[in-house]
Amino acid sequence: MRGRRSRCCVALLLGLWSLPPLALAQEMPATVLQERQQRSQPVWGPRGMVAAGEPLAAAAGAAVLREGGNAVDAAVASSFALAVTLPGSTGLGGGGFLLQWLPGPSPARLQGRAAACAEAAGRERRVGEGQALGLDFREAAAARSRPDQFQAPSGAVDRQRVTRSLQSAAVPGLVAGLLLAQRCYGRLPLRRVLAPAIRLAAEGVPVSRQLSQSLQAAATLLRADPTSRSLFFHADGPALQPGETLRQPALAATLTRIAAQGEAGFYRGATAAALLRLMAAADGLITADDLRSYRARPVTPLEIRFRGHSVLGLPPPAGGVTVLQLLRLLEPLDLAASGLNSAASLHLLVEAMNLVFQQRNARLGDPGGAPFEAQSFLGERALAALRRRIDRQRHRPAAELLKHSQVREGSDTTHLSVIDREGGMVALTSSINFAYGNGISVPAAGFLLNNHMDDFSSRPGSANAFGLVQGAANAIAPGRRPLSSMAPTLVFRPDGSPWIATGSPGGSRIGTTVVQVLLNRLLYGLNLASAVAEARLHSQLLPDRVDLEQGFSLDTQRLLEERGHTLRPSAAMGAANSVEQLRAAEGGGSFGVTDPRRSWALAQPE
Ligand code: DON
């Protein structure tokens, strides 16, 4: 019996062996894909979904959805809550970008809203049966800032001053952005949307292991500032410990003023006065005028087609061009035929990454409210010219495309994605730049300041903290916003229906993270959870090397080295908290995925 069975297996194997290669090629991917699709599973919910970088903030958004709020209400509630529960990643002293799509026509939605909403409506882009809009609430350079502000007499950039001084902070934008979104597109009263953040700040949140560890890691920075020290550390030295409570009464009072007065609760009055006192006590540049004149900018999203899907991203100073250009460059190269994580497809991916970084660093900067000329980045002629520079067999060294540096990624910045029961979607990335920003908290107002001045090119040719060597297009100028990599992204099915909202933290790795998640989902057919979990790599031209997460086979790595790539193992990249809407035929409802790379995130169904 045993003999017969083994003969039968041998026959079966021989049978498979003798099949023509085509048949095998048809068989294998399905099997491989099927297995891969089951490696990780998204959370499912029957209606809306919030995927955010911290559980209490995700729950705050989901509660707002349950009360009849839409995706904008939920995203704003979650983002304000994250400003309380993830103080190292985001906060009222920071800024960011929001990309939304809401079903239906805009005029009905905007009836009876503030005048600023008419401007926003004028920037919307019609996609499918709804309207998409971006909000740029990136921090802005103070009116007194200068292009050479961070250069020492030797001409070298003073890295301490550009990252850790009061001057490293640009005028905060988060509050203006969230309030504009909510006022024009939300459904619930502002007070309701801010209530969870106020409660979390006033009553306190339990300190998680991760929060305690991140405070300890930033101890030198935070303990040097008396306000940060008193907020996050015990009087005798150690950081708040897991299980203890982080109470932020001053932040609760600031949030309460915002709930009562709107923008004036932050950009004027007691909050502004606290910030201005801090600026005046040292060499800070931000003035009352800077605060009063700060506005969030509504922007028309950029749109490309990728394999029949519509993909939306945001123009500079956001990082959408990197994502969209990379997808368009790759589309005709047929990565799917070479297979997920094969040396052939990874080689093309890396070469295309280098090209988009060369474009970004040399040519992109804040267009200052002027329309962005997308054609020379996303037009087919420009793309074809770039594509011709890709050699399928050999890595083109950075020196051939250019002329150095290190890359770092902190645990800062956070991305959240929301879907509501009507299909409305929001992707929102916010940041104070490094973990705990510049480390300086505003006394009596209870929030940390960003250090986003370092995202400008303080001196053309010298690298910022993310190793980005940028040019004059991103020089410091009064009122200007530093170029960002943040890239909230929305994807629509070929029939125009809303499908995926995604984005990530990760500094310069944001765009390449988002693109790999999308390639895994759209091209290789992984489910959303597996698409997010799959190993990632990153290359940004300078330094001329490929950073690899764990999970790429040694054989593949050897093949990449043979093509001329220098490889370096890397810590985890990004944290792409994403949501996906299912069709009725798929059972309906929505999927939520939080990135396993940052274990404190949560996908919370409505
Ligand atoms: O705006 C940017 O591109 C960066 N300041 C974002 C910082 C970041 O994502 C750090 N991440 N982990």
Say how many Å lie between the CA of residue 478 and the centre of ligand 1: 21
pLDDT of residue 37: 56
Residue 71 DSSP label: H
Single-letter code of the amino acid located at 341: N
Q: pTM (2 decimals)? A: 0.93
Kind plus residue range of the DSSP H or E element containing 547 = strand 546-548
- The DSSP letter of residue 333 is G
Q: Which residues contact 241 (CB under 8 A, 6 or more apart)?
A: 207, 212
Quote the pLDDT of residue 602: 84
pLDDT tens-place string over residues 243-301: 999 999 999 999 999 999 999 999 999 999 999 999 999 899 999 999 999 999 999 99
State the Cα–Cα distance between residues 98 and 486, nearest whole angstrom: 10
DSSP secondary structure, 97-122, as one string: EEEEEEES-HHHHHTT--HHHHHHHH
Distance of CA 484 from the midpoint of ligand 1 (Å)? 7
Residue nearest to atom 8 of ligand 1 (CA): 507
Report pLDDT for 410. 57
pLDDT, tens only, 384-394: 999 999 999 99
Q: What is the dihedral of CA 91, 93, 94, 97, to 10 degrees?
A: 80
Written as one letter, the residue type at 60 is A
Q: What is the pLDDT of residues 353-385, one digit of tens each?
A: 999 999 999 999 999 988 899 999 999 999 999
- The whole-chain average pLDDT of the chain stands at 91
- Alpha carbon of 450 to ligand 1 centroid (Å): 11
Please tell me the distance from the alpha carbon of residue 188 to that of residue 63, in angstroms, as a whole number.
Answer: 12
Which residues are within 8 A (CB) of 400 and not within 5 positions of it... i.e. 6 or more apart?
none
The CB of 413 under 6 Å from ligand 1? The reply is yes
Dihedral Cα 515, 516, 522, 526, nearest 10 deg: -160
Q: Which of 254, 300, 322, 413 is catalytic?
A: 413
Cα 516 to Cα 102: distance, rounded to the nearest angstrom:
26
- pLDDT of residue 20 exceeding 60, the answer is no
Catalytic, 429? Answer no
Q: What is the pLDDT of residues 116-136, one digit of tens each?
A: 899 999 999 999 999 999 999
Q: Hey, what are 311's tokens?
A: 């993909």
Residue nearest atom 1 of ligand 1, based on CA coordinates:
484
Question: Measuring CA to CA, which residue among 580, 603, 597 is closest to residue 526?
Answer: 580
Sign of torsion, CA 388 390 391 392?
negative
E strand or H helix that includes residue 579: strand 578-581
Ligand 1 and 592: CB distance under 6 A? no
